[in-house]
Amino acid sequence: MAALAPPTQRSFDARGRRLDYAGRTLVMGILNVTPDSFSDGGRSAALDDALANARRLVAEGADIIDIGGESTRPGHTPVPVEDELRRVLPVVEALAGLPVPLSIDTQKAVVAEAALEKGAAIVNDIWGLMGDPDMARVVATHDAGVVAMHNRGTVDASVDIVADILAFFEQSLERAARAGIAPARISLDPGIGFGKTFEQNLQALAALGRFVALGFPVLLGTSRKSLIGKVIETTPAERLPGTIASNVIGIMAGCAMVRVHDVAAHVQAARVTEAILHAA
């Protein structure tokens, strides 16, 4: 079956809520409700802390809150589904009334479905609908938005990573088409830091324009990642300048969304970048 044609309008449909990215970059704020996140493990593990941090991100200008209950950093320990549900569902339910849509960052269809039933509007899948065989059905059934991220089970330095990402996206879009997911509900993510060497991550960033050219909104996630620490030795907490630099490159290449820990700084960076681009 042919892959889906890209959406005609420049907006991302989050379960009926249209997020316009025409000339305005959407900022997705990260809310990790895990004790072992590589960057901010434990800061939002308690429910009250999670709610306070989510409200702060919205006040800083976040367009989406992305809630994750399982760390996916390199070498992470998989979380049993029961533990992931216990972590994320109370948070999703408590935040469902926020003025911005909620995204559930999970690779498990059962977690995605439970979160959607509690009020989430987007599924952020690190396996791009190609992991859990039930994920596409869950997204389609709930008319949810989906972020389909490129990933690889193993790192292989010999792979042409740009070609690999493009082929993966084609397969993801074919799976979405078979499930009946509307094009306007799909975003693509090149998966910086997932299944790639340092050089391949740089190559993927340099090729962002090719992914944008597919016609679907592209989400870029580089926030505080080891890529930055390999360019210049830094801890995750020290990587805001490098994160902003990579996301400005992404905005200039046409990315529709950036996924970040530091929302206020990126809202400012995005608005200034957009103002310059619009003046050209």
CATH of the domain at 154: 3.20.20.20
- Given a contact cutoff of 8 angstroms between Cβ atoms, the answer to whether 76 and 39 are in contact is no
pLDDT at 72: 80
Q: Which of 87, 175, 224, 225 is catalytic?
A: 225
Query: What is the DSSP code (8-state) at residue 237?
Result: G
What percentage of the chain carries pLDDT values higher than 90? 89
pLDDT at 110: 98
- 214 Cβ contact list (under 8 Å, min separation 6): 6, 166, 169, 188
Quick check: is 94 in a domain?
Answer: yes
Q: How many domains does the chain have?
A: 1
pLDDT higher than threshold 70 for residue 37: no
Q: What is the pLDDT of residues 46-84, one digit of tens each?
A: 899 999 999 999 999 999 999 999 988 666 678 999 999
Quick check: is 7 in a domain?
Answer: no
CA distance 234 to 226: 9
pLDDT at 34: 87
CA distance 277 to 280: 5
For 240-246, which contacts have Cβ atoms below 8 Å and span 24 or more sequence positions? 240/265, 244/269, 246/192, 246/205, 246/220, 246/222
Q: Which domain holds residue 108?
A: 21-278
Quick check: is 4 in a domain?
Answer: no
Active-site annotation holds for 230: no
pLDDT at 268: 98
Quick check: is 6 in a domain?
Answer: no
Active-site annotation holds for 259: yes
pLDDT at 61: 98
